[in-house]
Amino acid sequence: MSNIFRTYLISLCPLIYILFISLFSKNIINPLSYLIISSGHIIVIFLILIIIVPLLNSSLKIIDRRSLGLVTFGYAVFHLLLYMIDNSFDFNFLVYEILHLSYIQIGYIGVLLFIPLVFTSNDNIKKRLGDKWAIIHKLIYIIILVSFIHYYLIIKADYYLISLYILIFIMVFFLKTMRHLK
Amino acid sequence: MTNKYDIDKENSITDEFYFLNRRKIMASILSVPILTQTSMVSSKEQNLFFTKDLDYSTNEETNTFKQITSYNNFYELGTGKKDPMLNANKLSTKNWKLTIDGLVDNPIVLDLEDLTKKFPLEERIYRLRCVEAWSMVVPWIGFELQKIINIVKPLQKAKYVAFESILDPDNLPGQKRKILNWPYREGLRIDEASNPLTLLSVGLYGKILPNQNGSPVRLIVPWKYGFKSIKSIVRISFVESEPLCTWNEQTPNEYGFYSNVNPYVNHPRWSQKRERRIGEFGKRDTLMFNGYSKFVSNLYEGMDLKKNF
């Protein structure tokens, strides 16, 4: 099995799981809200995984980083689509939220920042861009920070899980910088 | 000679009662050991005696028992929506005492039996609007807080009512971390507390209140966001100045003392214009005072509700 196929297969499992739960679990009382929240968590976890992959030994590199990035973008679009469905695609209301609510603005920014990465994720363009490609793809760090802010802005009181995500992110970032300096 | 197939003779027929209830009877025999271990669960099944209120109740379709008991904000039992249901048994209501004191002539302490027997109970079907922009319609069983006010007789000086919830960090999983400044506290102005809509609820769907909904006694103020309706109350005190409210203390610019449902004042981070009625697909417009204007708008005459949010 190729790494690409394996990556798509594994990374789509959470989607199937949350769709299944939201449709069939009798304990999910507000399925749309459940889907929005759980897809958000999947996105944050995948974003962190994307920066962890290069740290793994080559024998552990069973995940194709590019595919994981594309799937994560897919989840982000899904997350945005769910939010729009949640508001019945009411154009005026969606515009009102963009104009007035910062967590919504930041959410859109996150999706937009992803777009240059998606369009430069093929071998031809990568070759053509040369050194610039690596610089563009540093955007992933900005996207991670943006997603943390977006998440932080809707928490009412319980910062436990977001602290855990941020802690892992800092550890990975630290490890990567250490490797770079060697 | 008797016909061995003649089994329909009168005396061999199983009594209809036992026949119709055969599954229940088997189940009850099998469940005896379980029920004796968790006698609390069975006592919660107890039916309450109540009258149906027609003056204040909505005739909207009520949410199901399952919905009302599986989607709760009760941080003492965990911050996930399902957590209060999953951890419900961590809250022990045994030997519960509700103390009513402060600036009153006649302080009292109510025990579990008083809560369901001392005052005639009525069913009030109210809308509940959470600050998180979802809502339900709930058939509460309870009595007006006014009834308690009449008994304890607040002094002239008493201007506010302070409510305090249970503090039990040894058993309540949410209180093991300082998510909020425990115990949970809430407050009302005394005229708000005396409004006929303001309820102390002890039941739901005709039965004792499930733990995840704030057993054994909780406040219901249907024109305010749900967090004002404090659960599992241990103390009600009549005081002179505005009491501390937990969410107001946590984030004062987001959760005001009044916290009246108001579609024209957004939460600083999200919109309050609409709400999802649990069980419905689209969202509906949120109503001023959650649709209770005709009962409560006089309480706020002349007040700037944007400032006093």
Report the percent of chain B where pLDDT is more than 90: 82
Q: Per-residue pLDDT for B27 more than 70?
A: no
The verdict on whether omega for the bond into residue B120 sits within 30 degrees of 0, i.e. cis, is no
| pLDDT of the residue at B158 | 97
CB contact under 8 A, A101 and B269: yes
Locus of tokens 């760090």: A141
Taking the CA of residue A155 and the nearest CA in chain B, the distance in Å comes to 10
Alpha-carbon radius of gyration of chain B: 23
Local confidence band at B268 (pLDDT 50, 70, 90 cut-offs): confident
Asked if B153 contacts B78 with a C-beta cutoff of 8 angstroms, the reply is no
Enter the DSSP assignment of A180: H
Separation between Cα atoms, residue A114 and residue A61, nearest integer Å: 23
- Using CA atoms, how far apart are residues A164 and A175, in angstroms rounded to an integer? 17
What is the average pLDDT across A35-52? 96
- Per the structure, how many domains does chain A have? 1
pLDDT interval class at A146 (50, 70, 90): very high
Q: Quick one: fold of B47-300?
A: Sulfite Oxidase; Chain A, domain 2 (3.90.420)
Contact across the interface for B81 and A103, Cβ inside 8 Å: no
Res A131: pLDDT: 87
Instruction: Give the domain extent around A7.
Output: 3-181
Q: Least CB-CB distance to B179: which of A30, A154, A157?
A: A157
Q: What is the pLDDT of residue A54?
A: 84
ipTM score of complex? 0.86
Hey, is the C-beta of B79 within 8 angstroms of any chain A C-beta?
yes
Q: Is the dihedral of CA B268, B191, B103, B95 positive or negative?
A: negative
Q: Which of A27, A101, A156 sits opposite B82 (nearest CB)?
A: A27
Identify which of B70, B177, B274 has the shortest CB distance to residue A29.
B70
Buried b (16+ CB within 10 A) or exposed e, B91-121: bebeebebebebbbeeeeebebeebbeebeb
Alpha-carbon distance B14 to nearest alpha carbon in chain A (angstroms): 37
B274·A93 Cβ contact <8 A: yes
pLDDT at residue B16, rounded to an integer: 55
Amino acid at B240: E
Residue ranges covered by each domain of chain B: 14-45, 47-300
Give per-residue pLDDT as tens, B119-162.
999 999 999 999 999 999 999 999 999 999 999 999 999 999 99
Half-sphere exposure of B6 (CA within 13 A, CB side): 7
Chain B nearest CA to A136, separation (Å): 31
